């Protein structure tokens, strides 16, 4: 008895169907056409692929390096209290935490 095999499109992750008029496998979502040999080679590559160990770099963002803070200014969002970091030319932006529009009044006062 033969085994039923289903393939997903490598372009859009949709289920690929056999198109009898083309005699090829075709994705009904993105219209990409595949030869059966191509899909088999993709399948073999995926079977031989090693799993990612998902090791995260936890040192990122721990401390500023020397010279990185030159010209940076920090502001506190009046809406959520989040810290907003901008350079000396930033006069208006939005809070990256709550999305509230922020105008850095100190930029206009010379402070």
Taking only the tens place, the pLDDT of each residue in 2-50 is: 677 788 888 888 888 988 898 999 999 999 998 888 888 888 888 887 7
User: Does any domain span residue 27?
Assistant: yes
Q: Considering the entire predicted model, what is its pTM?
A: 0.40
pLDDT at 110 (0 to 100): 55
Query: Is there a domain that residue 66 lies in?
Result: no
Report the b/e string of 43-80 with b at 16+ CB within 10 A. Answer: eeeeeeeeeeeeeeeeeeeeeeeeeeeeeeeebebeee
Q: Is residue 60 part of a domain?
A: no
pLDDT of residue 11: 86
Does residue 55 carry a pLDDT above 70? yes
pLDDT cut 70: percent of the chain above it: 87
- 76 and 43 in a common domain: no
Q: Are residues 38 and 79 in the same domain?
A: no
The range of the structural domain enclosing residue 3 comes to 1-47
If one counts the domains in the chain, the total is: 2
Residue 55 lies in a domain: no
With 80 as the cut, is the pLDDT of residue 89 above it? Answer: yes
Residue 56 lies in a domain: no
């Amino acid at each position: 008895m033969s085994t039923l095999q289903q393939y997903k499109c490598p372009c859009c992750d949709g289920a690929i169907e056999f198109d009898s008029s083309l005699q090829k496998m075709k994705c009904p979502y993105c219209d990409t056409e595949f030869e059966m040999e191509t899909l088999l080679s993709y399948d073999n590559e995926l079977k031989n692929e090693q799993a990612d160990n998902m090791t995260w770099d936890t040192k990122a963002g721990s401390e500023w390096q020397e010279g990185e803070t030159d010209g940076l200014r920090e502001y506190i969002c009046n809406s959520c209290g989040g810290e907003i970091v901008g350079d000396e030319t930033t006069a208006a932006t939005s809070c990256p935490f709550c999305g509230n529009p922020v105008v850095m009044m100190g930029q206009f006062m010379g402070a």
